[in-house]
Structure 1
Amino acid sequence: MSREKDRDLPSAAGDLAKQHPAIWAAYADLGKATADAGSLTPRERRLVKLALAIGASSEGAVHSHTRRGVAESIAAADLHQVALLAIGPLGLPRAVAAGTWISDVTSDK
């Protein structure tokens, strides 16, 4: 992550980035290395990360990857499909929760 983006992070991550910039830089470097380790497209990587966030029941991570997906021009319907795909392996309640978290970001308020 660039230093400019560090300023726009949600409070907990932003606080960590400000208080421990070397740790945040290492974390950002790890993210880049994992992204560059294979042939997935940026879009595919974003959808996989969203799916992993849903699987981990991490509302904050679902919000984050949804915001990034929207910024990367991924259609809201595609982001919501990831939540629907979670029904089989994770169950309806977790998929519905994930859908609401995605809607937190994608719905016009």
Structure 2
Amino acid sequence: MTEKNLPGTYSRFAAKYPDLAGAVEALGSTAKELGPLDEKTAQLIQLAAAASIRSEGAVHSHARRALAAGATEADVHHALILLVSTIGFPAVMAAISWADDIIDPV
């Protein structure tokens, strides 16, 4: 993972299981290299998927990565709002709150 300020849980996992962490990272990189989507679009798709499985940590990670790839707050919110008819309003609001942890940390 190339992010700075990696979450402590991930850092500890990667230190304990470096081969597995590397394999997971390589899988993600390989999947991205297979198609024409740019990094921002790929991260917004992964953000939506993270919201769909209600993974707070993954929403944090992909919101952070989307912003680093050039997404705006409006882009992140829109990617999540688009899910309202699929995953429901409460799940979207939870995901927005998790994304906002990254967009505007208190």
Instruction: Compute the TM-score of the two structures, normalised by the length of structure 2.
Output: 0.91
Instruction: Indicate the residue corresponding to 2:7 in structure 1.
Output: 10
Match of 1:20 among 17, 22, 27: 17
CA-to-partner distance for each residue in 1:28-54, whole Å, 9 max, x for gaps?
111111111111111110110000000
The answer on whether the counterparts of 2:50 and 2:56 sit within 8 Å (CA) in structure 1 is: yes
Match of 1:83 among 73, 76, 80: 80
Separation in structure 1 between the aligned mates of residue 54 and residue 47 of structure 2, nearest angstrom: 11
How many residues are treated as equivalent by the alignment?
106
Where do 1:1-109 residues align within 5 Å? 1-2=1-2, 5=3, 8-107=5-104, 109=106
C-alpha displacement of 1:87: 0.5
Separation in structure 1 between the aligned mates of residue 10 and residue 104 of structure 2, nearest angstrom: 24
Structure 1, unaligned runs of 5 or more: none
The answer on whether the counterparts of 1:63 and 1:101 sit within 8 Å (CA) in structure 2 is: yes
The answer on whether the counterparts of 1:8 and 1:14 sit within 8 Å (CA) in structure 2 is: no
Which structure carries more relative contact order (alpha carbon 8 Å, separation 6+)? Answer: 2
Instruction: Compute the TM-score of the two structures, normalised by the length of structure 1.
Output: 0.88
Report the aligned-residue RMSD: 1.5
Letter in 1 for 2:40: R
The answer on whether the counterparts of 1:59 and 1:98 sit within 8 Å (CA) in structure 2 is: yes
The answer on whether the counterparts of 2:40 and 2:70 sit within 8 Å (CA) in structure 1 is: no
Structure 2, unaligned runs of 5 or more: none
Residue identity (%): 33
